[in-house]
Structure 1
Amino acid sequence: MIPGRCIIVALPMTQPAANETPRHDPHDAPPVAAPAEGQDPERYWLENVYQGGARQLTPRAIVAGMLIGMVMCLSNLYIILKTGWSMGVTVTACILAFSFFNLMRQLRVFREDFSPLENNAMGSVASAAGYMTGGGNMAAVPALLVLTGTLPGTGWLVLWFAVIAALGVFAAIPIKRQLVNIEALPFPSGIATAETIKALHGHGEVARQKSRLLGIAGLIGAIVAVLRDAKSAWLNTHAPEFLRLPLPIMEKKSILPWATLRDRPLKDWGLAFEPSLLLIGGGMLMTWKTGWSMLLGAVLTYGFLAPAMVDQGFITAVTQKAINTWMLWTGAALLVTSGVLSFAFQWRSVARSLQALSGLFRKKHEATQDPLAAIEVPPSWFPMGFAILGPVAVALMAYLFQIPVWAGVLALPLAVVMGFIAARVTGETDTTPTKALGPVTQLIYGGLAPGNVAANVMSANATGGVGLHAADLLIDLKSGWLLGGNPRQQLIGQLFGVVAGAAIVVPAFNLLVPDAQVLGGEEFPAPGVMVWAGVSKMLSVGLEALHPSARMGALCGGLLGIALVLLDRWAPKAAKPYIPSAAGFGLAIVIPGSSSISFCIGAGIAEYLRRRKPKVAEAAVFPVGSGFLAGESLMGIFILMLKAFNFMPK
């Protein structure tokens, strides 16, 4: 969940707003049959893998993908505002769709089975809709609200999101064949999806077990949300929002030197257990290293640094919002420097991306000799898509955000370059580096258009959105390549998902966040939003406008981010498990301490199962963690809707 990841799938949270966690371990990818040396891989695929006559992008696959994707988009929106992360979409969507259509087949509503390639096409639609919260969308737009206090109308924002996401889809066209067909980059999340679909449609009991676990966990998560958040005449008993931790060092007995800490219970500092299965479920989808790093960051931030800053008068109140206002600069600097440096170490991928980009102007395939000319997406769709949607994007930038036309025009080729880089890095590492590319774009526009906050925020949104959706489509196309699917139909399905996701995410956001005051507090800490806004504010007003203590915090955070990345890269192999994750540690600084504690508990449970009961972990960790996330988040949104429309006391 500020950044993007089991069983057959090691997909867990993807894209959130600052942490970059791989969706799937590339080393766990199963071997894939390959053509003999010297054999044309595309012709081999056409003759041995391609399922030309199978049902794929059917009307029911489109409708199911749009509906499931919209539901998961709502879930991701709630999770992102809570934690900065977002959950994986495609595998969960495939499990849900298979379970639903299998039930409908048994009830004889449908005569034909839901085929594997239908499920794959449905997953392309659902992922495009569900990931509409990523790519900076739900970081940049809320950040603009925080910085300016206003946003464009709902219809305009829906159009903005749809155009940017569609540009990302078209940006993937020129490099799909090179990355997926020829180079056969891993795209481990795509392999995970293909393997999951094979298991679902090949072993009914496996599918039923996963769907049962997903459903039961979702129901439990929804019940927890009702018991904690619902207040009405028909429910008089409520679960507590926080529970004290059974620590021997508490309140006035604290041996810590900070007078403020001794005068207040640890709960006031956020060092308490928050009974949220959403957070525990999120932790189950993290690595154990990220989980314990978050706990370490929370203890150091809220048990040591925050009380010291309160005693010094730099933090004016013991509230999450007041603490976060100061801590933001330390956490943001750590996340940005670690993200950019990690990305810099992938310079070979960047170089290969630019080389592929230069090849766009060379004709690689003659139609008369191209075995896949009737199956692959025509190369002409790339320039046509940008020729049609590019002017629309530039006009929207100028009209909605007062971005100069020249700056909007510059954003388009920059977005293409960033999209190509993001796609290759995702293919090689399964980590989409939108959280590194966003700050890079912010720095560029900070120099080109100094003081223009909207240009800084929304130009980064454009590049991040293009990069995410280009990488997302290539992940889906990888699974289609392995299953023998039609790439042209998958791309069309992705466009259906883009429309569905844009149509649901904007009105839902307006309902959950009626004004900027909602963001940055205990209900919606929105760490990704606050980091994005902080970077833009710093670039527009300059470091000299910050309080000297905040500047020192930012310097220390930036240096710590660099140090953690270098240690993780160069330390002896035996020492690496004990080096904190820069992403996890940085995230803990900008979210409540209670959230980090719950994340760590979830990660600890999953790690225990993987070590002691690997078969149970393989079968249960992903569906249970995803179910907790989806159930509590969707019920949380439903309760907020009831309160917003005065059907329930606030």
Structure 2
Amino acid sequence: MDPERYWKEHVYQGGARQLTVRAIIAGMLIGAVMCLSNLYVVLKTGWSLGVTITACILGFAVFGTLRSLKLLTKEFTDLENNAMGSVASAAGYMTGGGNMAAVPALLMLTGTLPSSGWLMVWFGVISALGVFAAIPIKRQLINIEALPFPTGTATAETIRALHGHGDVARQKSRLLGLAGLVGALLVLVRDARFTWLKNLPEKMSLPFNIMGREAGKWSLSFDFSLLLIGAGALVSFRTGWSMLLGAFLTYGFLAPEMVSRGVIPEVTYKAINGWALWTGAAVLVSSGLLSFAFQWKSVVRSFSALSGLLGRQPQEGTREDPLAEIECPPAWFPLGFVLLGPVAVFLMAYLFQIPWWAGVLALPLAVVMGVIASRVTGETDTTPTKALGPVTQLIFGALAPGNLSANIMSANATGGVGLHSADLLTDLKSGWLLGAAPRQQFYAQLFGVVAGSVVIVPVFNLLVPSADVLGTEQFPAPAAMVWAGVSKMLASGVAALHPTARVGALCGMLLGVTLVLLERWAPPKAKAFIPTASGLGLAIVIPGSSSISLFVGAALAALLRRVKPKLADDAVLPVSSGFIAGESLLGIAIAMVKAFGFMPK
């Protein structure tokens, strides 16, 4: 039987409440909060964390509380929660797709950014184009081929659990709330400078010296950050210990050796990072590109989805499209690009001095990137940002050599559209499993784009008032450092680097390739002892203290999964999400209070 016809007859809940006004409002508010939390996290760690599951748990808890207080009469349904999650995820993903790599990188390289209003429009247009780009490939990848999109599947299962078992829902929402409160209290004790409050130190140095200086001077310390511990709990233990290994190799051995040779002028994180960045970037870029190359079958298969650009061909033996009135019409895709494409090209030319022909070229390239990234995400649950970001930088570096703004922001446009498309298809997978209306999720994502683009710019300007804040222990911004590094290298050439930095970049490239090959070809039992290239590379470009805390989180989560697997399944995600949200949001609030002069800086 035609899978689409079966879905319409047995899964689709056409008459159920979905994209209600309250779901839109709640999704925009929760999505804005999650977007700000993600902004803080990406500046700290370089990662944009998935927000949909957390948003669905939080939404369920909020509406459940309001209903228990008799402030609401109608039940908050599973499809309302799914629609609300689509709004929230579109807002939360505003930090993804290279957005919070490209814009900070541009600030570091040029010292200036467009005005807040123009940046809001830029983020909104690029993200909205990503939503439209998902239309022609959604049916092929989700309806017909049924790619797993593991995070989307997990979101659907979470929503079913929340709305099917009250005890599970209450426990998860309670854990999330308590963890958020603990994370916020830690920030208050650590960062708020009240005269009546004894502050917790931000870091505690490890108990040994290197070259006569305590380990903390080399950034080898324990960071009192539940955000980092929570983020670590969401990655694998293998990634966690890889980061610990990378931290000690970089800050315990390589950096002291370079300081003793006079290559690194002083023992500060910023000075060390200025040298080590090239090694870390080479590990991340080479491993990302090779991993992507090994997925060539997915890439080849993805181009079959481009037939959707010309409209879906009815399957043999069918007379009509069973979902013609439910799915987004194929014409919406070209219509969206006809309306928004010229706006994007204008913004590229006006804001970033990108030649108009390069802007026009970026649009079809973005569609191709979206097709490739969407299939890879659907099959592996990993959006290939580390590969597609540098690839687009290389393309535009060749087309407009020496133009730093054009290199970075053309890549932001191309990668942003494609990667947003891939991320948002994950939400449509959840809706497919739950029987939601795709058109309503499409509208939901556009509402989320508006919310995310409006809130992210002013808070970014607040947290990053100047480029001096970036690349520091406060905000390492590793993704932005890598993008800026690639752009500078394309503009000035490898010869401009210090000879030892060139050797480090070559070693990093070989290390990234070697780790990917070992992971692919090593016996299954041996893989647990092979460091991950992403963990090792990231540890080279962030402070050692951050890697240590991330390792602690990964180790605690792994221990809990081994000792109490059921408790780990129920608790790790909500507790980690609560730690991250609580610390990041209060951290932003304290930054706002300091900026307005109500608290000493």
TM-score range, shorter chain: over 0.9
SS in 2 for 1:243: strand
Q: CA RMSD in A?
A: 1.1
359-368 or 514-523: bigger deviation = 359-368
The one-letter code sitting in structure 1 at the alignment partner of 2:230 is: G
CA deviation profile, 1:381-405 (whole Å, cap 9, x unmatched): 0000000000000000000000000
The one-letter code sitting in structure 2 at the alignment partner of 1:305 is: L
CA deviation profile, 1:465-522 (whole Å, cap 9, x unmatched): 1122211221111111111100000000000000100000011100110100000011
- Mapped to 2, the partners of 1:218 and 1:608 lie a distance apart of 22
Out of 483, 492, 495, the residue aligned to residue 446 of structure 2 is 495
Aligned to 2:107: 145
- Mapped to 2, the partners of 1:449 and 1:551 lie a distance apart of 24
Contact 1:80/1:138 (<8 A) preserved: yes
Out of 399, 413, 416, the residue aligned to residue 465 of structure 1 is 416
SS in 1 for 2:230: helix
- Mapped to 2, the partners of 1:619 and 1:350 lie a distance apart of 36
Q: Does 1:242 align with 2:203?
A: yes
Shift of 1:573: 1.4
SS in 1 for 2:525: coil
Alignment of 1:636-647 (within 5 A): 636-647=587-598
Shift of 1:363: 4.9
473-482 or 299-308: bigger deviation = 473-482
SS in 2 for 1:578: coil
- Mapped to 2, the partners of 1:45 and 1:123 lie a distance apart of 21
The one-letter code sitting in structure 1 at the alignment partner of 2:301 is: R
SS in 2 for 1:370: coil
- Mapped to 2, the partners of 1:432 and 1:157 lie a distance apart of 24
SS in 1 for 2:42: helix
Q: Give aligned-pair identity as a percent.
A: 72
Aligned to 1:587: 538
- Matched residue pairs, number? 599
After the TM superposition, list the runs of 4 or more consecutive aligned residues in structure 1 that deviate by more than 2 angstroms.
232-235, 358-363, 365-368
CA deviation profile, 1:368-418 (whole Å, cap 9, x unmatched): 711111100000000000000000000000000000001000000000000
Shift of 1:464: 2.0
The one-letter code sitting in structure 2 at the alignment partner of 1:125 is: V
Alignment of 1:372-387 (within 5 A): 372-387=323-338
Aligned to 2:564: 613
Return 5+ residue gaps in structure 2 as ranges: none
SS in 1 for 2:222: coil
SS in 2 for 1:273: strand
SS in 1 for 2:472: coil
Aligned to 1:269: 218
Contact 2:136/2:311 (<8 A) preserved: no
The one-letter code sitting in structure 2 at the alignment partner of 1:314 is: V
Shift of 1:359: 4.8
Q: Does 1:95 align with 2:57?
A: yes
The one-letter code sitting in structure 1 at the alignment partner of 2:150 is: P
The one-letter code sitting in structure 1 at the alignment partner of 2:174 is: R
TM-score by length of 1: 0.91
Out of 72, 86, 97, the residue aligned to residue 34 of structure 2 is 72
Contact 1:330/1:557 (<8 A) preserved: yes
Aligned to 2:455: 504
The one-letter code sitting in structure 2 at the alignment partner of 1:243 is: M
Contact 1:221/1:629 (<8 A) preserved: yes
Out of 131, 144, 148, the residue aligned to residue 186 of structure 1 is 148
Contact 1:76/1:86 (<8 A) preserved: yes
Contact 1:473/1:491 (<8 A) preserved: no
Shift of 1:105: 1.0
SS in 2 for 1:333: helix
- Mapped to 1, the partners of 2:143 and 2:432 lie a distance apart of 8
- Mapped to 2, the partners of 1:62 and 1:567 lie a distance apart of 47
Contact 2:152/2:430 (<8 A) preserved: yes
CA deviation profile, 1:524-550 (whole Å, cap 9, x unmatched): 111111111001100111101111111
Aligned to 1:23: none
Aligned to 1:516: 467
Tell me: CA distance 1:583–1:108, structure 2 relative to 1, closer, same or farther (3 Å).
same
SS in 1 for 2:221: coil
Contact 2:137/2:308 (<8 A) preserved: no
Q: Does 1:648 align with 2:599?
A: yes
Alignment of 1:527-546 (within 5 A): 527-546=478-497
TM-score by length of 2: 0.98
Aligned to 2:184: 222
The one-letter code sitting in structure 1 at the alignment partner of 2:253 is: F
Out of 442, 445, 459, the residue aligned to residue 393 of structure 2 is 442
